[in-house]
Amino acid sequence: MLDVRTKSENDLHIVEIEGEVDLYSSPELRKVLLQLTKEKTKTILVDLEKVKYMDSSGVATLVEALQQVRKYQGMLKLVNLRDAVKDVFELSRLDKVFDIYASIEEATKALD
């Protein structure tokens, strides 16, 4: 089961994800992310601290959101990746495409 929560602080929206992001659950995440991009949210931090597993459909969902954000010069950053999830991004070389940070604090400092 996937739990997706959003919270906002000023122009910053944090999307907290808990569970496994796979073929069955990624449409739920996609809906949340695309709603934020539809609203042209300036900065989106995707907190993956509680994601134990992510397959290619989850990665594709994040890539799609990143493409949408770039259309209006917004930012989408990934934070708190567990090793198993980080490995997926490194193997696919998407760690060179996404801005990935160890913590929310580190990502917000990089915004300043």
pLDDT tens readout for residues 43-65: 999 999 999 999 999 999 999 99
* Cα separation, 20 vs 97, whole angstroms: 22
pLDDT at 111: 86
* Cα separation, 7 vs 105, whole angstroms: 15
Inter-residue contact 110 to 103 (CB < 8 Å): no
* This prediction's pTM: 0.94
Q: What Cα–Cα distance (Å) separates residue 34 from each residue in 28, 68, 92?
A: 10, 8, 23
6 falls in which pLDDT band (50, 70, 90)? very high
Q: Which amino acid is at 104?
A: I
